Structure 1
Amino acid sequence: MRNLERRYRTLLKVLPKWYRRDREEEMVGIFLAERNDDLDLEHSWPGWGETFAVLGLAVRTHLAAGAALTGVPGKVVWRGEVVRALGMIGLLLGLFYGVAAIVNLAVAYGNPAFAPGITWWWLLELGPIVAFAALLSGRRTLAKIAAAAPVVLALGSLGQPQYMLLWGVFQLPSIVTFVCLCLGFHREAPTPPVRRLVWWGGGAMVLGLLGGFATGAGLLAVGLITVIVRVVAFVRGDVVLGRAVSLFAVLQLVPLVFLVVAGSEILVPAAGLALLLVLTAVAPVRRPSAQGFRV
């Protein structure tokens, strides 16, 4: 085996075994076609274009939707559905934060005590609203770009140490959401169920209004709804939604613990809800009769 072929086979190891078993020889043959020079075969490396193409294929196969791939193991389909469900749940939380930010800006507008703290960075809080609408309309690239706005907000806080911890804590779910959207909603992934998610999006925006006027109350409501949805997923035997909500519960624990440590006026409810979220995260999920993001 020549060095170039060995390097191509090493690159292909990022693909799942079930895919390589049927396609590896064919792919290596295509890569090595018309590369007959001995010097090239000994000292060359896979090109950047080929490398990125294989990495993109690795994402699509490890998080397969089953639409354009054959022989996909059930656990691979399940894994992709969980990632996509977690991304959508994170966007719903982003709607909550976005609407709450709008309410905060409206309350602060014209108030000299708060006006100096209003900057253009606050506009990045609206990114999830744009991402949610774009994803439901099929514009996945725009959705991913918009979902990156809170991530930029968290990075921007590095230049403002007084906000770094606060923003970092509350933007952690947004960072995870952005990663899930990039990985899960590839070009072969299914379109999210628009009608159901519109209703859930409306509920998240209503909670955002509550969160904008009553600091901490909206966050508690989101945590309580997380627990309720997890119970519903268990009763219905929806393992995809159950696993996604379990992971989401872990993300919700971070800001709640922050409120508890900071000695918030909602200390007791926050501590109680944090305990419920811990139970939500570790509770078992009944195996479903049919998988899917059913909300």
Structure 2
Amino acid sequence: MSRLEERYRLVLRLLPAAYRQQWEDDMVAAFLDSMDNDDPETAAYIADYGRPSLAEVASIVSLAVRLRLGGPDAPARSYAWGQAVRLATLMAMLTQAVMVTASVAVALWLSGKIAWLPAPAPAWALTPSGSIWHTAWNLAGYAWLPAYIALVLGHRRVAQAVALLAIVPPAVTTAVEQAAGDVPLSVTPWALRLIDVVLVLAMAVFHRDAPPVPRRPWLLAIPIGILLVPLPLFAIQATSQAPRLLDWPGLSCAMVAAAIAVHLAGRAPRQPARTLPWSLALTLLAAATLALRIVTLPDYIDQAQRTTLVTIAATEVIAVLAMALPLARRAIRALHRLPPIPADAQRPTTPTE
């Protein structure tokens, strides 16, 4: 076996094992034929130092996503995981869209642009930013709303492109400010950017085989979400100091724990198979939220209220675990009752489609 074939077979390990068992040899043979060269020296060089092209790797990744995270015509286990990742992505995107939409309304109120509302207290008055980086940060964050709408309407590539506008400027801002010493080094901004990147990559599950997103409920979820989370939170924060101890990872923990509690109180215990995608989706969100909460704990070291903050963070972790562990156990049991992905679940029209 040549080094080129070894590298290609390594990429093929992204595919399900049963699928590889049936189609791997055919795909390898087709790939090696496409790399064949009439010049013996060139052919020997390619065999030793050649690698699958980025287009070839992207094609295999696309096939792996469709096999492992399939649509309605896919095997039950593949479809359940596909729906779970799609639901988790939509919920995460919805959270971003809700928060930025509410922040626009709050900014208009604080700047005195909404005359029919009471004037804000002087302590809440907005001051113009003297840094172009802060301006870029604020404007970039608003891109999550059109990205979410584009995803719901079925324009996945547009949603990914627009979401990048919400990621790149904040990343550049964080790098410049931390390098210049304008802000202390911290983990939280980079952890949030990493989650944003994962969110953009997760949009790949909205592939051509995936079912369309129900538009009406997911679009109505924006105003409902604003009424349930950011506006009450802002109103409480304006009158109390306690909510200011709740940072974004902490707020994420609270929202995920509440969502799981509502889910468990509904039909999940009585209809685990029917609600399996939602259970898996909330489990994925709980895992991501716990990871975010844990990796951002070092930012509390230099805080004056670090003992209080660490105690609150520990409480948040315990609350999410208390909700997520029973849910995950129930979801895994329901998932194991489903048949696995068979070898002939989906045959590509070309060897590396």
TM-score, scaled relative to structure 1: 0.76
Aligned to 1:115: 128
- Select 1:177's aligned residue among 173, 194, 199: 199
Aligned to 1:293: none
Q: Which has the higher contact order (CA 8 A, sep 6+)?
A: 2
Q: Distance in 2 between matches of 1:274 and 1:4?
A: 46
2:255 alignment partner AA: V
CA positional deviation for 1:42: 3.0
2:321 paired with 1:278:
yes
Q: Distance in 1 between matches of 2:3 and 2:193?
A: 45
Distance 1:25 1:74, change over 3 A: same
CA positional deviation for 1:140: 0.5
Q: Distance in 1 between matches of 2:213 and 2:37?
A: 47
2:179 paired with 1:159:
no
Q: Distance in 2 between matches of 1:9 and 1:167?
A: 37
CA positional deviation for 1:130: 0.8
Aligned to 2:208: 187
Preserved contact between residue 144 and residue 178 of structure 1 (Cα < 8 Å): yes
Residue 138 of structure 1: SS of its match in structure 2?
coil
Aligned to 2:65: 59
Aligned to 2:120: none
Residue 227 of structure 1: SS of its match in structure 2?
helix
Aligned to 1:124: 140
Q: Deviations over 1:133-174 (max 9, x none)?
A: 101111100111223344325413222232755544666654
Distance 1:49 1:30, change over 3 A: same
Identity over aligned pairs, percent: 23
TM-score, scaled relative to structure 2: 0.65
Preserved contact between residue 136 and residue 170 of structure 2 (Cα < 8 Å): no
- Select 1:90's aligned residue among 89, 92, 98: 92
Distance 1:30 1:239, change over 3 A: same
2:17 paired with 1:17:
yes
1:115 alignment partner AA: P
1:23 alignment partner AA: W
| 13-22 or 217-226: bigger deviation | 217-226
Q: Deviations over 1:12-42 (max 9, x none)?
A: 2332222222322332332233636344543
1:285 alignment partner AA: R
CA positional deviation for 1:241: 0.9
Q: Distance in 1 between matches of 2:317 and 2:5?
A: 53
Aligned to 1:203: 224
Distance 1:223 1:179, change over 3 A: same
Q: Distance in 1 between matches of 2:23 and 2:2?
A: 20
Preserved contact between residue 131 and residue 147 of structure 1 (Cα < 8 Å): yes
Q: Deviations over 1:166-224 (max 9, x none)?
A: 54466665444323223x22333222222322232332232333344444489487356
Computing the radius of gyration from Cα coordinates, the structure with the larger value is: 2
RMSD in angstroms over aligned alpha carbons?
A: 3.7
- 5 Å matches for 1:172-251? 173-182=195-204, 184-206=205-227, 207-215=229-237, 216=243, 219=251, 222-223=255-256, 225-231=258-264, 232=266, 234-235=268-269, 236-237=271-272, 238-251=275-288
Q: Distance in 2 between matches of 1:12 and 1:255?
A: 34
Distance 1:62 1:115, change over 3 A: same
Preserved contact between residue 86 and residue 180 of structure 1 (Cα < 8 Å): no
CA positional deviation for 1:250: 4.0
CA positional deviation for 1:53: 2.1
Structure 1 regions of 5+ residues with no counterpart? 291-295
Q: Distance in 1 between matches of 2:81 and 2:276?
A: 10
| 121-130 or 105-114: bigger deviation | 105-114
Q: Distance in 2 between matches of 1:40 and 1:47?
A: 17
Q: Deviations over 1:65-124 (max 9, x none)?
A: 354xxxx55433332222211111101111222123213432443787522266132012
1:240 alignment partner AA: P
Q: Distance in 1 between matches of 2:43 and 2:72?
A: 36
Q: Distance in 1 between matches of 2:111 and 2:190?
A: 25
Residue 12 of structure 2: SS of its match in structure 1?
helix
Preserved contact between residue 150 and residue 175 of structure 1 (Cα < 8 Å): no
Query: What is the number of residues matched between the two proteins?
Result: 283
Residue 33 of structure 1: SS of its match in structure 2?
helix
Q: Distance in 2 between matches of 1:36 and 1:224?
A: 58
Larger helix percent: 1
